[in-house]
Structure 1
Amino acid sequence: MTRLVIVVEKPADWGSYYPSDNVVAAADYLREPIGDGERTQVINLCRNYRYLGTGYYVSLLAEARGHKVIPSVRTLADLRRKSLYGVDIEDLNTRLAKFFPGDASDATEFALLTYFGQTRYEPLQDLARQVFEAFPAPILRIEFERERGWRISAVKPAGLHTLSDAQEDAFAEALDAFSKKLWRRPRARRKFRYDVAMLHDPAEAMPPSNRRALKHFVEAGAELGIEVDPIGRHDFTRLAEYDGLFIRETTSLDNHTYRFAHRAEREDMVVIDDPVSILRCTNKIFLHDLLTKRRLPIPRTEILMREDEARLAALGDTLGFPLVLKIPDGSFSRGISRVGDAAELRAAAARLFQHTALLIAQEYMYTEFDWRIGVLEGQALYACQYFMSRGHWQIYDHARGGGARGKPRSGGFRTLPVREAPAEVVKLALRATAAIGDGLYGVDIKASGDRLAVIEVNDNPSIDAGIEDAYLGEDLYRRIMETFLRRLERKRLGVRD
């Protein structure tokens, strides 16, 4: 369980709030180690954080003692670099237009106080959250200015002692929301060496791991002295209290999963999937370019731009019919169309171009099944054959349901020892992941006669109880959690990869 320590510069700064054993003066925190041997979260509420000042040293020594601290020294350094926030924010004009009353619409300057990424001004809540994610600090003053359009002119940390009565109330509410998981009474349980947050969405229709698999990850972690704690998208502000992050939710560059991975990496946590892997895998155009440069075999492919009518019209001659159109960020067979002639091609392209400026067109390679090779840290972990859905050309048939809880119908599978998979398939999978990183991947490969082709590399591969674990069983989960343990131990010892 994490211990909470709130550091104030002067005891009087806490005078408006209830007394608490969690609150200590900065001088006392600097003078004597607190929470020695305990997992500790420090909230640094000093009056300022200027370089080599009291607040700066509280954050510096907190990190030296192995405490999680907000704001971190890195955040304090970032806040001094105006280049990081002196940029336009998407939709800022629209947001502020909704916020300002009519008689203040001609304002040229504006400032907003946020507390742990929270504000009572609903039109600006999403903006407050984004700024907090970039600069995690308890109290931030966001200053805006308008010339041709609104822009953030400054982001500054503010002191607890500067707040009015109403602002103190808002701060108290935000602090309670931020720290409620830390204030809770410890449960009677064994002491874990490390805490790993496992991000998942219970409502996701096609998650990368089913409930039984998530339970197996928790159990495997516990055997190794790791508490695996399932969290959701609304737990972003809690992330810094963990040692690692394991993403078991479908990743995307434009949603919270990438923000979680990026924030965890900034906090020097062990992360699977890391943000670089998400970047390289989730966009098929990026992945195509990467694999092509590595001269790895892939289906014959053309990249289409919305305005390139001539290239679209020539696809039938270039790739032949039928062919496959894909949006760059589709997953689980979504955003993919097979077209059999020029008319179907034009219709499918018009439909898909509504969602993206670029499309991928590939030759159609029929196979009875796709190989999926699971790879972890450059080693083959499992091998599966995913068969096409009955009467369909893909593994998942989204047009016809029939699966559990209305899920798309899918084909069968066969899981086998890696040693029984064709050696050339396994070797190709390892070459493909070497271009991505050293995380956890699932490589989809088609084998047609003597020809092999990498279809995609998934940064967040499916690991479902009863499917991918059909051969290894509980050992599959243990191997993945052992990777976390090795990496966590290396970080604790200060060993860099």
Structure 2
Amino acid sequence: MNKYLVVNKPENWNISLENVRVISAKDYLTKPEFSRQKKARVFNLCKDYSYQSKGYYVSLLAEARGHLAIPTVKNIVDLREPKLVKIVSDEFDDLIQRSLKSIKSTEFTLSIYFGQNVAQKYKELSAMFHRHFQIPFIRVKFNYTNKWNIKSIKALSEVEIPGEHLPYMRDFAIQYFAKKRYDTPKSESYEYDLAILIQEHDPAPPSNQKALKKFAEVAEKMNFYVEFVYPKDLSRLSAFDALLIRQSTEVNNDAYAFARKAQQEDIAIVDYPDAILKCCNKVFMAEALENAGIPTPRTIIVHKDNRNKIIEKTGLPLVLKSPDSTFSFGVKKASTPEEYETLVGEMLKKSELVIAQEFTPSDYDWRIGILDDKPLFACRYYMAKGHWQIYNWDAGKKDDREGNADVMSIEEVPKKILNAALKSARLMGKGLYGIDVKEVNGKPLVIEINDNPNIDFGVEDRFYGDKIYIEILTALKNRLEKKTQ
């Protein structure tokens, strides 16, 4: 397996690492030789892991390409989320107190390089943090009140490492890359307690009020105790056996924090944090679909070095998508070169990478609901009145914001549409997905893979009725029962 150390400036890495090639983040993100490789291990030492930075995309695209990334996107997001840092660090408490008991001051900083600290007495503590967060360079700050507490945890860039630590860091790197393996980490009358996460004033809720009521009614018949919870209730999640997310999902919102905590505490969940991370980024999706050979409209990942060559490949009009766009937010159409320049310039200020896609007009999009690799429902969503998308958030009248929908049995769906949807969902793993597919000249083109798809009363449930709710809740019950076997 090829091993790559991905850094911002390879010229600064003048150490000899056996069987590890040092490359730039820019080369890994943009050169075809890396996107085409089927097996690789990627060690991401970029100076910045912030959302939509080069460091973030190195790990994201590594996963899309089927490469093994250290750190993973999940590791990066965990480190940035204070609530999640607290959750995973609570279990360190005994080790923290034991390791720091001899320190006389009220503040202490621990720098960790490839799982080690320059002082051997912090070896166990450093290794523990590294196993949990998988970030090559970490700085942990502690303060003391009545005991030692974690004040902050952040990823370090190479330029932030003190000069006197650099020889140690290089020795630790040589030791690390010489290894063969790399560390990776109710009411009594009811059978189970179920939390359904919703958000007040959600701009695009995945379930309407009647659907939420139906979920609760069906769940209670299936012997779940049901309680609707809100973002402020994260600390209460441990009291439940299962979590159903029915609020909008994004990497930076509370739904991800709930999903991650549920996963850490072995709470059954629909849907998994991995699904949120992957489906919420169109760059990951584009690479994953291309590598799997799934047909899509002509799609190009745009960056500052190729932005002037896009129109000649996609033609005009073209569609530009922010990596984290959902429900048609952050999706724009450029009909002229001037519009393209304005839109792509604005988007590249917010993200290192943007998606450009060939414009493929159609009267409707197929939406195939997939649950744990099986078809759940089938719809055709028609474009909003006088608009090129299903949603038109700029429409003056609320009734004109979204188009109509046809609902039908799975058996009525053309086989090529259904097969494309099933193959796409498998890229994301088990879970609940809505696959959007256009049919152009008799050919299916996958537009998006959506985690946490709409389940609205009177729309997605129109053909199968209560069966939709029963299937989703049964999936949760199956997850619970699998844990007890």
Structure-1-length-normalised TM-score? 0.63
Q: Does 1:152 align with 2:147?
A: no
Residue 156 (structure 1) shift: 9.2
Go from structure 1 to structure 2 and tell me whether the alpha carbon gap of 1:415 and 1:135 turns closer, same or farther (over 3 Å shift).
same
Go from structure 1 to structure 2 and tell me whether the alpha carbon gap of 1:158 and 1:287 turns closer, same or farther (over 3 Å shift).
farther
The amino acid across from 1:216 in the alignment is K
Say if 1:375 and 1:441, in contact at 8 Å, map to a contact too: yes
Pick aligned residue for 1:302 from 282, 300, 303: 300
Q: Secondary structure at the match of 2:219?
A: helix
Instruction: Give me the whole-angstrom Cα distance separating, in 1, the residues matched to 2:472 and 2:92.
Output: 35
Q: Which residue of 2 aligns with 1:429?
A: 421
Q: Does 1:349 align with 2:336?
A: no
Q: Secondary structure at the match of 2:365?
A: strand
The amino acid across from 1:336 in the alignment is V
Go from structure 1 to structure 2 and tell me whether the alpha carbon gap of 1:362 and 1:128 turns closer, same or farther (over 3 Å shift).
closer
Pick aligned residue for 1:416 from 408, 415, 419: 408
Q: Which residue of 1 aligns with 2:268?
A: 270
Instruction: Give me the whole-angstrom Cα distance separating, in 2, the residues matched to 1:323 and 1:131.
Output: 41
Residue 151 (structure 1) shift: 5.0
Q: Which residue of 2 aligns with 1:234?
A: 232
Say if 2:109 and 2:141, in contact at 8 Å, map to a contact too: no
Pick aligned residue for 1:316 from 311, 316, 325: 311
Q: Which residue of 1 aligns with 2:246?
A: 248
Say if 1:277 and 1:439, in contact at 8 Å, map to a contact too: yes
Instruction: Give me the whole-angstrom Cα distance separating, in 1, the residues matched to 2:352 and 2:82.
Output: 30
Q: Which residue of 2 aligns with 1:378?
A: 373
Residue 418 (structure 1) shift: 0.8
Pick aligned residue for 1:134 from 75, 88, 91: 88
Residue 401 (structure 1) shift: 3.5
Instruction: Give me the whole-angstrom Cα distance separating, in 2, the residues matched to 1:236 and 1:220.
Output: 24
Q: Secondary structure at the match of 1:394?
A: coil
Q: Does 1:388 align with 2:383?
A: yes
Structure-2-length-normalised TM-score? 0.65
Residue 379 (structure 1) shift: 0.6
Say if 1:89 and 1:151, in contact at 8 Å, map to a contact too: no
Residues 83-232 of structure 1 aligned to structure 2 (within 5 Å): 129=83, 131-136=85-90, 144-145=107-108, 151-154=139-142, 191-232=189-230
Gapped runs of 5+ residues in structure 1?
1-87, 91-125, 163-185
Instruction: Give me the whole-angstrom Cα distance separating, in 1, the residues matched to 2:232 and 2:250.
Output: 17
Q: Which residue of 2 aligns with 1:281?
A: 279
Coordinate RMSD, CA, aligned = 3.0
Go from structure 1 to structure 2 and tell me whether the alpha carbon gap of 1:144 and 1:443 turns closer, same or farther (over 3 Å shift).
farther
Q: Secondary structure at the match of 1:334?
A: coil
Identity of aligned residues (%): 34
Q: Does 1:490 align with 2:482?
A: yes
Instruction: Give me the whole-angstrom Cα distance separating, in 2, the residues matched to 1:422 and 1:264.
Output: 37
Residue 158 (structure 1) shift: 7.0
The amino acid across from 2:357 in the alignment is Q
Instruction: Give me the whole-angstrom Cα distance separating, in 2, the residues matched to 1:463 and 1:269.
Output: 22
Structure label with greater radius of gyration = 1
Go from structure 1 to structure 2 and tell me whether the alpha carbon gap of 1:237 and 1:155 turns closer, same or farther (over 3 Å shift).
farther
Say if 2:436 and 2:448, in contact at 8 Å, map to a contact too: yes
Go from structure 1 to structure 2 and tell me whether the alpha carbon gap of 1:199 and 1:155 turns closer, same or farther (over 3 Å shift).
farther
Q: Secondary structure at the match of 2:380?
A: strand
Residue 147 (structure 1) shift: 10
Instruction: Give me the whole-angstrom Cα distance separating, in 2, the residues matched to 1:322 and 1:381.
Output: 34
Q: Which residue of 2 aligns with 1:464?
A: 456
Go from structure 1 to structure 2 and tell me whether the alpha carbon gap of 1:388 and 1:157 turns closer, same or farther (over 3 Å shift).
farther
Q: Secondary structure at the match of 2:389?
A: coil
Residues 75-86 of structure 1 aligned to structure 2 (within 5 Å): none
Q: Secondary structure at the match of 1:397?
A: coil
Instruction: Give me the whole-angstrom Cα distance separating, in 2, the residues matched to 1:208 and 1:389.
Output: 18
Instruction: Give me the whole-angstrom Cα distance separating, in 1, the residues matched to 2:146 and 2:483.
Output: 32
Say if 2:195 and 2:240, in contact at 8 Å, map to a contact too: yes
Instruction: Give me the whole-angstrom Cα distance separating, in 2, the residues matched to 1:292 and 1:128.
Output: 35
Cα-to-partner distance string for 1:465-489 (whole Å, 9 max, x where unaligned): 1110111112211111111112212
Pick aligned residue for 1:330 from 310, 325, 332: 325
Say if 1:403 and 1:409, in contact at 8 Å, map to a contact too: yes
Cα-to-partner distance string for 1:104-156 (whole Å, 9 max, x where unaligned): xxxxxxxxxxxxxxxxxxxxxx99745423334799989744699x9534489
Instruction: Give me the whole-angstrom Cα distance separating, in 1, the residues matched to 2:81 and 2:441.
Output: 54
Instruction: Give me the whole-angstrom Cα distance separating, in 2, the residues matched to 1:198 and 1:232.
Output: 8
Residue 270 (structure 1) shift: 0.9
Go from structure 1 to structure 2 and tell me whether the alpha carbon gap of 1:138 and 1:362 turns closer, same or farther (over 3 Å shift).
closer
The amino acid across from 2:365 in the alignment is D
Q: Which residue of 1 aligns with 2:29?
A: none
Go from structure 1 to structure 2 and tell me whether the alpha carbon gap of 1:128 and 1:462 turns closer, same or farther (over 3 Å shift).
closer
Q: Which residue of 2 aligns with 1:258?
A: 256
Go from structure 1 to structure 2 and tell me whether the alpha carbon gap of 1:303 and 1:419 turns closer, same or farther (over 3 Å shift).
same
Q: Secondary structure at the match of 2:349?
A: coil
Cα-to-partner distance string for 1:435-468 (whole Å, 9 max, x where unaligned): 1111110000000122211101111101111110
Go from structure 1 to structure 2 and tell me whether the alpha carbon gap of 1:289 and 1:191 turns closer, same or farther (over 3 Å shift).
same
Say if 1:413 and 1:467, in contact at 8 Å, map to a contact too: yes
Instruction: Give me the whole-angstrom Cα distance separating, in 1, the residues matched to 2:271 and 2:145.
Output: 31
Say if 1:224 and 1:485, in contact at 8 Å, map to a contact too: no
Go from structure 1 to structure 2 and tell me whether the alpha carbon gap of 1:414 and 1:211 turns closer, same or farther (over 3 Å shift).
same
Q: Does 1:368 align with 2:333?
A: no
Go from structure 1 to structure 2 and tell me whether the alpha carbon gap of 1:293 and 1:357 turns closer, same or farther (over 3 Å shift).
same
